[in-house]
Structure 1
């Protein structure tokens, strides 16, 4: 009986180890991309703290860094992978996530908002809102970061 308990414990430890290795291997490219993007951005602006990093995959891949500069201002940096023409904006000069959602709700009736994230297309910083409509279809709604103006929508997928 003790032998089976030891075998089971060993089995679970091996499984946990394998899943940990798979997870760490999966997130490694994202960590490398973040490090490269932050290093590149610091050539132009001093980032005292990185609060969030993600990749936006639109017409082209864009690194998006949300953080703070040395003055304590919240900033957002968009770095297109191909052109590397960095766009830096203070967060207070654009819409918040909540305001972007409110803009969507003013013109659409989303059943469930799945994600809201920053991105950039054609050098225009934007909010991408991914949601489901009443008929459970997938929709994307894009609005300008600075003005809240509607840019484009992809509906009923």
Structure 2
């Protein structure tokens, strides 16, 4: 009986080790992209501290960095993967996440807001709001970062 318990424990430890290795390996490209984007942002946008990083996958992949510059101001940086053209905006020059959600709620009645994140397409920065409707259909609502205007909707997927 002790032999089976030992074999089971060894099997579980090996299985956990494999899952950890797969997870770490899967995250390596994201970490590499972040490191590269932060280096560009530090050089071209005076980025001093990173508070958030994510990739936006739309018409093209865009690195999005939120942080502070050397003056201590909150900034948002978009770096399209193909052109590497750095676009920097002061966070207070655009809508906040809460303001983007308010804009959605003025027009729609979502059952659940799944995520709200910054993105960019055709050099237009925006908030992408991913939400579920009453019948659990997937919807996307795009709000211009600076003007708060609705840009596009993708509904009932």
Provide TM-score, normalisation by structure 2: 0.95
Structure 1 residue runs of 4+, over 6 Å off?
none
| Gapped regions of structure 1 (runs ≥ 5) | none
Task: Give distance in 2, aligned partners of 1:96 and 1:35.
Answer: 25
Decide whether the 8 Å contact of 2:119 with 2:128 is kept in 1: yes
Task: Give distance in 2, aligned partners of 1:74 and 1:6.
Answer: 54
Count of residues in Structure 1 that have an aligned counterpart in Structure 2 = 157
Cα deviations by residue, 1:27-77 (Å, 9 ceiling, x for unpaired): 100000001111111221222211111110111111101111122211110
Decide whether the 8 Å contact of 2:42 with 2:48 is kept in 1: no
Aligned counterparts, 1:66-77, within 5 A: 66-77=66-77
Asked whether 1:13 is paired with 2:13, we answer yes
Asked whether 1:62 is paired with 2:57, we answer no
Task: Give distance in 1, aligned partners of 2:61 and 2:26.
Answer: 18
Aligned counterparts, 1:33-44, within 5 A: 33-44=33-44
Task: Give distance in 2, aligned partners of 1:71 and 1:3.
Answer: 64
| Gapped regions of structure 2 (runs ≥ 5) | none
Task: Give distance in 2, aligned partners of 1:46 and 1:87.
Answer: 12
Asked whether 1:84 is paired with 2:94, we answer no
